[in-house]
Each structure stands twice: as C-alpha cells, then as structure tokens.
Amino acid sequence: MGKQEKIVSMFNDIAGTYDIANRVLSMGIDKSWRNKACNKAFDFYGKSKIERIVDVACGTGDMIEFWQKIAESNGIDLQNVIGVDPSVGMMDVAKQKLPDVEFIEAGAADMPLEDSYADIISISYGIRNVVQRQEAFNEFARVLKKDGLVVISEFTKNEKTNPLDYLTEFYMNKVLPTLGGLISKNKEAYTYLPNSIDEFLTTDNLCKELKLAGLEPIHVKAFSMKISTLIIARKL
C-alpha cells in the first residue's frame, strides 16, 4: 500500500468521530479560521453570483457548510458546491449532513472535472495529506476559470521564535495525539497529524509551488499563534 492509500485508509477509519474530535482539538477555533477564509475569498472574487465552488479533500463536508452559510450571509448567489475526496468513509458522513451536495471520489491531483470549471477551489487542512502536491496545484490551475481563486487553509511549519511556539508544539505533539486517540480510538491517526506538519512545507515553499502552477498568491495570513495559515492565490 502506497503512502497516499495509507492516508486515505486512515481517514476512512476515523470518519465517524472526525467532526467531534476536530471541534474538541481545535477548541472550536477552526470555525473562525474557516469563516475568515470564506469571507476573504468572496471579497477578493468580488462577484454576487458564483457558479461553482469545488472543495477538495472535503472530508465530512465542514467547509462546504461554511461556503453555503457565508455566501448566504453576504447575499451571494452560490449555485453549486461540489465536494471531492478520496475517502469514501469521510464522504459518507458528509452525504448524511448535506444530502443535496454532489460528492466525487477522487484525489486532488486527478479530478474528473472539465477545464475552467470552478470559480473557487478550496482545500482546508488537507493539502499536507496530498502526496503529489505540485501535480495537485497544476490540476487546480486546470480546473479553475481564469481569475478564479485557490483558497488554502493549513497548519504550516514555522520557525520557533518565542515561548508560545514551544507551547504550541507541546500541544500538537503530546496533547493532540492523546485526546484525538481517546475520541477516535485511533491514536496512530492523531500522531500522524503533528508529524505531517513537521514534514510539511513552510508557507514560502507553498507559495513557490503555487506560482509554478500559474497560481499567484494574493493573500497570506497566519492565525492563532501561527498555528493556521490562510493562502489565497489567483489563476493568472
């Protein structure tokens, strides 16, 4: 089993408890990160009617609910949100929550979608789980309309410069695997999370990879002691 298959199988395993684990582990703070991502993206896109948003690595559909809710509160006519994920287990949970949304089983680097199909592509806390990341960015560029946006929220690797950074590291490496393991009965999955951040790229490298795919970063912002970073890039 390859690395990507292992990751997908792990997510199938923890799908049933994923939502509650997420809320507990982020202490609900991920809601404000997701809110900011949607609002910022709508600001930059500047249109009152949006044909399609594709949410990649959509998991249990969390981000799709945010796109729908925030479009409505901003008076934006959002016609369609499509969820894409290689984990059937996660999407089964999403389908129960969002019966009207279309879900497609596919990886980020190979989506069965037409060229210039989407206004916005989002991936929240999922890009670090994509093994073929540059290929995924190339695929995002293909599927996006001209001037369309990629909206990435991710835990990014940061240099430790003050005591708070070490506190964050302690939480990620010690508290999170224990709590996540208790809730999901799968400690391995929640040990994988901090390790995947440690192996993950810096924001700078992520921006370089986006540029290589013809996606120009227009907004980069870190939140909550630099735990989460939002990157918005526009297709040139």
Question: Binning pLDDT at 50, 70 and 90, where does residue 190 land?
Answer: low
The domain containing residue 53 runs over which residues?
A: 3-235
Across all residues in the chain, what is the average pLDDT? 86
What pLDDT, on a 0 to 100 scale, did the predictor assign at position 157? 64
Question: Tokens standing for 57?
Answer: 């690595």
Contacts of 174 (CB under 8 A, 6+ apart): none
For the cut 80, the answer to whether the pLDDT of residue 192 exceeds it is no
Give residue-wise pLDDT tens across range 73-132: 999 999 999 999 998 998 999 999 999 999 999 999 999 999 999 999 999 988 888 889
Distance of CA 152 to the CA centre of its chain: 6
The pTM for the full model equals 0.82
pLDDT the model gives residue 128 = 82
Structural domain count, the chain: 1
Res 97: pLDDT: 94
What pLDDT score was predicted for residue 29?
Answer: 81
Token pair for residue 185? 């009965």
The share of the chain scoring above pLDDT 70, in percent, equals: 78
Q: What is the pLDDT of residues 129-188, one digit of tens each?
A: 888 999 999 999 999 999 999 999 987 766 666 666 666 666 666 666 677 666 667 777
Question: Domain of 66: which CATH number?
Answer: 3.40.50.150
Which has more pLDDT, 228 or 43?
Answer: 43
Highest mean pLDDT (candidates 29-33, 77-81, 227-231): 77-81
What value does the mean pLDDT take over residues 216-230?
A: 89
- Whole-Å CA distances, 110 to 85, 140, 151, 177, 201: 11, 9, 18, 31, 21
Is beta strand 228-235 parallel, antiparallel or unpaired with respect to 215-223? antiparallel
pLDDT at 19 over 60: yes
- How many angstroms separate the Cα of 154 from the Cα of each of 80, 125, 151, 160, 193? 24, 5, 10, 17, 12
